[in-house]
Chain A
Amino acid sequence: MHDTESGSQALRRNDPGLHIPEPAFRPGDQPDFSGISLPPAGAVARPSVDIDPSAIRELAFSLIRVLDEGGHARGEWDPQLPADVLIRGLRAMMLTRAYDQRMVRVQRQGKSSFYMKCTGEEAVAVAAALALRRDDMCFPTYRQQGLLLARDWPLIDMMNQVYSNSGDRLKGRQMPVFYSSREAGFFSISGNLGTQYSQAVGWAMASAADGGSRIAAAWIGDGATAEGDFHYALTFASVYQAPVVLNIVNNQWAISSFAGIAGGEQSTFASRGIGFGIPSLRVDGNDFLAVFAVTAWAAERARAGLGPTLIELFTYRADGHSTSDDPTRYRPTTEPSAWPLGDPIERLRDHLVTLGAWSIEQHSTLEQELAEAVRAAGKEAEALGTLKDGPRIPAASFFEQVYKDMPPHLVRQLRESGL
């Protein structure tokens, strides 16, 4: 856990052997998160965007929260969004969940090779997408599909990619969920974790060199902060004061390794930014309003030429790492439901109900509508083929675009392949 007052440190000091971090709970344990220190919603002050980073170091150890347990928005970080924007966010999060559910089902049917859900983390991407400008450039990981959905990117285009079918713009070259959309400002996903983080800083440096107002935003998981690219990104962002929002999605788990294996036991991930002089904030990642507000704050800083911001989104990966993973083998089955920061969709729903702008009936109607929309798009996509059946891009196309122009050795190999 992130509570440095917890017993783990004392235990370590008394243990003469090598310290191997262990998560608090393993299968069979009763998860109890009462030891996590959670400041009440509204407790953390919102500084002005031009504040000296050294004056807000405590924000890297606290937790910015807006929505309280009763569904009310509290404190200075409340972005005071109009109800229609909140409903848009709610809808995008619900669509993301409905989409994930459907794509896991079709993977189980053998129509695609693989899938990755973001269940429980929908606010991380969706709230950020709404707080950023549409032409800001996103450098996501594979768990920010919500960015595309919040930017109204067509479901069928995403499904075509997952199916590697004849409508796949990426021509069947990439694993499912490794989307790319220049038009949606969604950078190509890489399986080599962390590489996009430092690239985002380069993109932001180029934008700054052009005097442009477009900024970059990047996401990385808690586990991948251990990669060199994380250090490169923070170094270059700090040195060149790049207009970039650097998000760490701390969802507690990197496949089977808990955040402690990435160094999360000794300090918060947000605190990594302090040594670089980068304003570093820790936020309740399941709180749509808090994620929106913090992203907007960071984006305003970047656009004003005030440099980068590091944001740790404290959340929980409620499902497996991917369809190839079985989390029951390394954590209690009850852990997701015991997570004390709740579900981002339910929390925003309850807030809207509290405001009188939404009802449980409207919610279930929308849920059905979205499930139906996903089903309809799925049918349309499957008509273009799946990995199992149906049309695909001609195989010879996989020789193309290795280079801008096909060099002679590939021309020879294409001929040799008989494709």
Chain B
Amino acid sequence: MIEAINSAMDVALTQDPQVMVFGQDVGYFGGVFRATEGLQRRHGRDRVFDAPISEGGIVAVAVGMGAYGKRPVVEIQFADYIYPATDQLISEAARMRYRTAGEWWSPITVRSPYGGGIFGGQTHSQSPEGIFTHVAGLKTVIPSNPYDAKGLLVAAIEDDDPVLFFEPKRLYNGPFDGHHDRPVRNWSGHPDAQVPQGHYRVELGKARVMREGRDVTVLAYGTMVHVALAAAEETGIDAEILDLRTLIPLDLDAIVRSVKRTGRCVVVHEATRTCGFGAELSALVQEHCFFHLEAPVERVTGWDTPYPHAFEWDYFPGPARLAAALRKCVDT
């Protein structure tokens, strides 16, 4: 998946001279996860470069560059470090088009590895998407596989609104279904790892049905898509699994269509539960599908604690917890 993300930026840099890529360690070195490897060499130091350890500054200058007419793509090295940039994201980038009635806007993309599964403790594991989905004016995108990662990132870069692009870091090198005790897999041979060389887009705001089913709808994104697929397989429950891909704008139609058919819904994410994006999904499902529901909407999430280093697998919502929720939901 990391190559797909690299390719998306390579394509964007090639096609649009206004694209600039920068962040901590992204220039000569090519990023701590290698997402920008080779881009500086191919596109020049004035378009792909290192930035100071200053998340607030990185996003601030991106907003300024956007006002000038550039299309900046910045990397926040870990989503856990994005908080110093929240003022620039929430008060500035998100509202620039609105507060200037369209005189200026922020066509910026903020890429950031997020989520757990790598023993990163509380400073390299967080899933802060819910903080940003709460903000009017931001878009939030989370891919679950290499094909989508490239197509969604190209679409995010080409989008004229500010986009937060959270990359599930546990998926960088292979799919992960939460079975941490099994051998690590890579992406080779996976159907969604066939990534075309050139330009293509995966439209923002469109969910994808990863598995069709009749018993229950699972709403998932990022790493949890793979966990959900495993849980369905292991329980034998005929779950319909939706990969939301974009949280804002959300593909509500796809959600409603599926839940009305199955009559049951489980929401899953790695982020903490209270006020997490799952709360919004759960509310939307009851607002739009109440008379079709045969069971309460279940939420499977990270616990409402900081991310505990040594207890990663007690914290991470793996296939066993999801399986239990699926059973509870279909048995109700």
Contacts and interface: CB of A to CB of B under 8 A. Distances in A.
A402 B136 contact: yes
Nearest to B63: A199
Interface in A167-215: 169-171, 173-174, 178, 180-182, 187-188, 190, 192, 195, 198-207, 209
A348 B101 CA distance: 38
B101 A401 contact: yes
Q: Which of B68, B139, B249, B252 has most chain A Cβ within 10 Å?
A: B68
A188 B64 CA distance: 11
Contacts of B105: 404
B134 interface: no
Given A169-B101, A209-B47, A192 B52 contact: no
Interface stretch (B86-94, B179-187, B216-224, B314-322): B86-94
A198 B100 contact: no
Nearest to B47: A209
B100 to A, nearest CB: 4
Contacts of A178: 99
A82 interface: no
B249 A408 contact: yes
Contacts of A201: 60-61, 64
A232 interface: yes
Contacts of B96: 188
Q: Which of B64, B88, B91 has the most CB of A within 10 A?
A: B64
Contacts of B67: 137, 187, 199, 202-203
Interface residues of B, number: 47
B60 A202 contact: yes
A235 interface: yes
Contacts of B142: none
Interface string B72-105: 1000000000001001100110001111111111
Contact of A182 (B51, B72, B104, B249): B104
A181 B137 CA distance: 21
Given A181-B103, A209-B20, A209-B47, A402 B97 contact: yes
Given A188-B96, A401-B101, A409-B252, A206 B69 contact: yes
A330 interface: no
A46 to B, nearest CB: 30
A87 B274 CA distance: 62
Contacts of A204: 64
B57 A206 contact: no
B237 interface: no
Contacts of A198: 56-57, 60-61, 64, 88
B209 interface: no
Contact of A229 (B51, B56, B62, B100): B56
A407 interface: yes
B136 A188 contact: no
Interface in A212-234: 216, 228-229, 231-233
B108 to A, nearest CB: 10
A68 B104 CA distance: 43
B65 interface: yes
A13 B141 CA distance: 55
A202 B252 contact: no
Most buried by A among B84, B100, B103, B137: B100
24 contacts: A173-B101, A174-B99, A181-B103, A187-B67, A190-B92, A192-B87, A195-B60, A195-B87, A195-B88, A195-B92, A199-B63, A201-B60, A203-B64, A203-B65, A206-B69, A216-B64, A228-B84, A232-B57, A232-B61, A236-B57, A401-B98, A402-B97, A402-B136, A409-B249
